Amino acid sequence: SSATAPIRATLFPGDGIGPEIAESVKQVFRTAEVPIEWEEHYVGDQIDPRTQSFLTWESLESVRKNGVGLKGPMATPIGKGHRSLNLTLRKELNLYANVRPCYSLPGYKTRYDNVNLITIRENTEGEYSGLEHQVVRGVVESLKIITRQASLRVAEYAFHYAKTHGRERVSAIHKANIMQKTDGLFLKCCREVAEKYPEITYEEVVIDNCCMMLVKNPALFDVLVMPNLYGDIISDLCAGLIGGLGLTPSCNIGEGGIALAEAVHGSAPDIAGKNLANPTALLLSAVTMLRHLNLHDKADRIQNAILSTISEGKYRTADLGGSSTTTDFTKAICDHL
């Protein structure tokens, strides 16, 4: 028995393939003897008036109390009178940064084999403020909000991340030549924070040029920080560089140090319940959660076991061109551990 008390973490298995891939995470964590005790919460089938969504207040309290959690994909039910699940989580937990590590998986051939970058997306404002209206017939307006507070907060997170993860460079991605006020303020905040981190190289790259550089040579980048909409697009572009959404983990960082890791993909209703889903993205998301908890030994062991399994090529799920089931693939990872 271990001398230290287990760490409690919230687990939302989610919908569709969610419970199958969450089971895979639980099994891999048990095998690796990760000192985590899961507090499982499911999306309810009724609206909780306290959250105005199908997420219960108790489940949000669980994340707030534990400070860490893992989230499977959630299918937002269609209908009026409730908030989207992801929006509820983002607002209620103040998840201000979305962090996506993106690195080539050895043995899984894509166009590039040298990708190793991190995108950090501001997640609360920018073009996603939801402030759109019609000015007159035929003319609509959308307000892009950039605040000093949110920009400093995400920039601070990016530089802190770079420093604590042995990264050398932070690139702020922008279009300040056109969006002079909004992106201009974002850049100003990044510069201010950069001054506090003289050991980290800071650069500014215009979004269009950034896209070209990424597809020509992704090795040019290290840590990228950017406003909401650019982050949405660039982070998917980066996922594509390494083989798609089935492989890409992410972690949402909230006020007060909350970390809610999640796979980037959805609930995949077409393959749900068939034991076909690839659990890699959720597993690697769980690894980012372990790193957030400074459990780097466990994180490294699990990450290596996943990468070795994929690289060997004997057990791969259908999305990676193999014929293994979720459970066979998971067992192969556990055997590596």
Q: Using CB under 6 A as the criterion, which residues of the chain lie in contact with ligand NAD when the complex forms?
A: 17, 73-76, 86, 245-246, 262, 265-271, 277-278, 281, 319
CA dihedral 15, 267, 329, 300 (to 10 degrees): -90
Nearest approach in angstroms of CB 331 to ligand NAD is: 17
CB atoms within 10 A of CB 170: 27
Nearest approach in angstroms of CB 136 to ligand NAD is: 34
CA distances from residue 291 to 119, 211, 221, 261 in whole angstroms, order as listed: 16, 29, 21, 11
- Please provide residue 140's backbone torsions phi and psi, each rounded to the nearest 5 degrees: -120, 160
Q: Closer to ligand NAD by CB, 66 or 250: give it.
A: 250
Q: Closer to ligand NAD by CB, 240 or 266: give it.
A: 266
Q: In what order do the strands lie in the sheet with 116-122?
A: 36-40, 7-12, 68-71, 259-263, 249-254, 95-103, 116-122, 223-226, 169-174, 201-206
The residues near 160 (Cβ < 8 Å, ≥ 6 apart) are none
Residue nearest to ligand NAD (CB): 266
* Burial tier of 132 (Cβ tally within 10 Å: 0-12, 13-18, 19+): exposed
Helix, strand or coil for residue 10? strand
* Burial tier of 198 (Cβ tally within 10 Å: 0-12, 13-18, 19+): exposed
Nearest approach in angstroms of CB 94 to ligand NAD is: 17
Q: Closer to ligand NAD by CB, 156 or 262: give it.
A: 262
Cβ(149)–Cβ(134) under 8 Å?
Answer: no
Q: Closer to ligand NAD by CB, 88 or 278: give it.
A: 278
Q: Closer to ligand NAD by CB, 73 or 254: give it.
A: 73
Nearest approach in angstroms of CB 7 to ligand NAD is: 24
First to last CA, the chain: 19
Nearest approach in angstroms of CB 239 to ligand NAD is: 11
Nearest approach in angstroms of CB 215 to ligand NAD is: 22
Cβ(48)–Cβ(81) under 8 Å?
Answer: no
Q: Closer to ligand NAD by CB, 213 or 229: give it.
A: 229
Nearest approach in angstroms of CB 15 to ligand NAD is: 7
Q: Closer to ligand NAD by CB, 219 or 233: give it.
A: 233
Query: What's the CA gap between 184 and 177, in Å, rounded?
Result: 8
Nearest approach in angstroms of CB 25 to ligand NAD is: 12
Q: Closer to ligand NAD by CB, 200 or 231: give it.
A: 231
